[in-house]
Every structure is written in C-alpha cells, then in structure tokens.
Amino acid sequence: MSDRVPPAGSRWGFLLVPVLSVLFVPLWASGFIVGKIATGYLDVPAVLLWRFVVALVAMLAVAAVLRPALPRGRAWLHLAVTALLLQVGQFTFVYTGLSAGVPAGLSSLILGMAPLLVGLLTPLLLKARLGPAPVFGLLIGAVGVYVVLSDELGGGFGAAVVLPVLGMVSLTAGTLYQKRFNDETPVVTSVIVQMATSLVATLAAWPFLGASPWPSGFGGWLAVGWLGIFNSAAAFALMFLLLRWRHTVHVSALLNLVPATTALVAVPVLGEPLTVQALLGLGIALVGMYVGLGLVRRRRRPAEPPDGPAGAPPDAAVGAVGRET
C-alpha cells in the first residue's frame, strides 16, 4: 500500500476521498470531546503520555506492514521540532485549558482559526502570494470568536481562555514549519517520529511534573485509548493522506466543520450549554473561515492543476492548515 496519490480517474480515488473526508471531521472533533473527558480521569501530563504511547504502538504496527522509508539527515531534526510544536505544545495547552474549565466547543473554535492565520503568515515565511480574502476571512472569524468569548468569559474560567489561544499559536507555528521542511516525509514515518519525539519529551519532563501516570478509572483508559488510536494515529494519518490526494484547501474546508461539530456534540455528551450568543458567534466565525478559504480557492482555481499526483502547488497552501495539524 502506498500513500501516493491514486490516479485521478480511478475507482479508488473516486471512492476513498469522500469516505476519508467524512471520517476525518468527527475523528478530529473527538479530540476536544474525549480530551475533556480524559482530563477528568488523569492529570494533563498523563493524558499526553498515554496519548503518545498508544498512538506510537498503533503506528508501529502499521509500519511493520507498510515498511515506509526512514527520514534522512536533517529530516530527523525537522520532524522532531515539528512534533514539539504540533503535538507537545498544542495539546499541552489545549488539555490544560480543558482541565481548567474551558468548554470543548470554545477550544475547538479558537483552534479553528489556525488555517487562516497560517494563510496570513505564509507569504512572510514561505514566500507565497496572498490575496485579500484570507485577511477579510480572519477578521470576520475574529469577530465571531469575540462574540463567543463575550458570552463565555462569565463562565468562571477567565484567563484560562488564553491556553487554547496558545495552543492555536503552537499549531500555526508547527504547520508552517512542516510546510517548510517536512513536506515529502512518508505519512506513517512522520506520525511515528512525531509520537516518539513527543513521548521522549514527556518522559524527560516527568520528574518535574508531579503527576500520577495512571487513570482513576476504566473510563480514563477508554479515553486515552480513543485519543491515541483514533484522534492521534487515525486522524493524523487521514489528514496526511487527504493532503497527498487533494489540495490543502480541501482539508482546511473540512477543518472548518470541526468547531460546529464539536459544539453540537458537546451539548449532549458533556452537558455544555449552547446559548443563542454562542451560536451567533460560531456562525460568524465559520462564515469568516469560509470567506477566506472559499474565495482563495475560487481565485486560484484557474491557475491550479487538477487534483492529481503532483499535489498542491506552494501557493495553494495559502489560508490552509498544512500536513501536520
């Protein structure tokens, strides 16, 4: 099995992309829901520890079958840096915020701003062209986030809302680093190196964290198992495959569905309230995201090759989250 692009007109290409796209959104959104549940059973460092352990074991099993190529030279270092940003940094901030009472839906909404932030920074760091659409989209999305925050800040978590913001910054930085240095790494190899690096970093910091490594109940084991297998190994592998088979704008459009999915699922599963003001802010933020990404796609489409083996050109990354989210 290869993670290269299937022929554009093949039956596999026609069937796999829609199926994987449908699976990707709930798997990615589940990280916020199950992450909130996991922090009720474990300390945040323990959630990270078991997430990385389970994901690493799962991907090593896949690697035993697929036998992907190993990184060469400095690629090892670049993958390690990406892992510290995308895995350790992002999820440390997100899980700490969830454990401090930040709602899962709000966390998802804040991190959902990363695609457009990547778009704004891409011309500066990756020398790609940028039109006005991502700027307008980010501004509209920021208004939506402000509307939600103005409703939620009275909920008792106050300054803790900064934590998912820092998680979003870490996600953005890791995405840009990945775009610059790790674009050609095989999917399975990339996930394995990320999880192994993150696990080593967590273990190295463990003596200073004062955390218990064990879940307080069976529900904790189920939660970390889900985070490791489905939200880490499976969701990241699906993202990488979709990015290989379609333009990055396609994946960013899917990521824009995550905040609404998370907010709606959090109501029955976590008992989080969904007020009219929160719905309004969520709607504004989603409109902003689609304005930025949708207009970029429409503008770029004549100049872009069709989805196929060549993958996305560098400027197709504008306004989109990259391979490692």
What is the residue-wise DSSP string for 86-97?
Answer: IIIIHHHHHHHH
Residue 5 lies inside a defined structural domain of this protein: no
Report the pLDDT value the prediction gives residue 324, as an integer from 0 to 100. Answer: 37
Give the 3-state DSSP-derived string for 19-47, with helices as H, strands as E and coil as C: HHHHHHHHHHHHHHHHHHHHCCCCCHHHH
Report the pLDDT value the prediction gives residue 155, as an integer from 0 to 100. Answer: 55
DSSP three-state, residue 305: coil
Residue 325 lies inside a defined structural domain of this protein: no
Residue 272's φ and ψ, nearest 5 degrees, are -75, 140
Residue type, 323: R
Residues 116-151 have pLDDT tens digits of: 777 677 777 766 565 677 667 767 877 877 777 665
Report the pLDDT value the prediction gives residue 294, as an integer from 0 to 100. Answer: 58
For residue 123, what are the contacts with CB-CB under 8 A and spacing of at least 6?
A: 129, 130, 318
Residue 1 lies inside a defined structural domain of this protein: no
d(CA 9, CA 25): 25
Residue 219 lies inside a defined structural domain of this protein: yes
Residue 194 lies inside a defined structural domain of this protein: yes
Residue type, 257: L
Neighbour-count burial for 263-282, b at 16+ CB within 10 Å, e otherwise: bebbeeebebeeeeebbebb
Residue 251 lies inside a defined structural domain of this protein: yes
51: containing domain = 11-317
Residues 266-305 have pLDDT tens digits of: 989 998 887 787 788 778 877 876 776 554 444 444 444 4
- Owner of token pair 């889900």: 226
| Number of structural domains in the chain | 1
Closest CA to 324 of 263, 253, 223, 242: 242
| Rg for the chain, CA atoms, rounded | 19
Residue 2 lies inside a defined structural domain of this protein: no
Question: How many other C-beta atoms can be found within 10 angstroms of the C-beta atom of residue 8?
Answer: 12
- Cβ-contact 97, 158 below 8 angstroms: no
DSSP three-state, residue 297: helix
Residue 245 lies inside a defined structural domain of this protein: yes
Torsion of CA 103, 109, 114, 115, to 10 degrees: 150
Report the pLDDT value the prediction gives residue 3, as an integer from 0 to 100. Answer: 52
What is the DSSP annotation of 172-221?
Answer: HHHHHHHHHH-TTS-HHHHHHHHHHHHHHHHHHHGGGT----S-SSHHHH
d(CA 284, CA 261): 15
Q: Is the pTM value of this prediction over 0.85?
A: no
Report the pLDDT value the prediction gives residue 152, as an integer from 0 to 100. Answer: 56
Residues of the chain with pLDDT under 70: 1-14, 119, 126-131, 134-135, 138, 149-158, 243, 246-250, 252-253, 289, 292-325
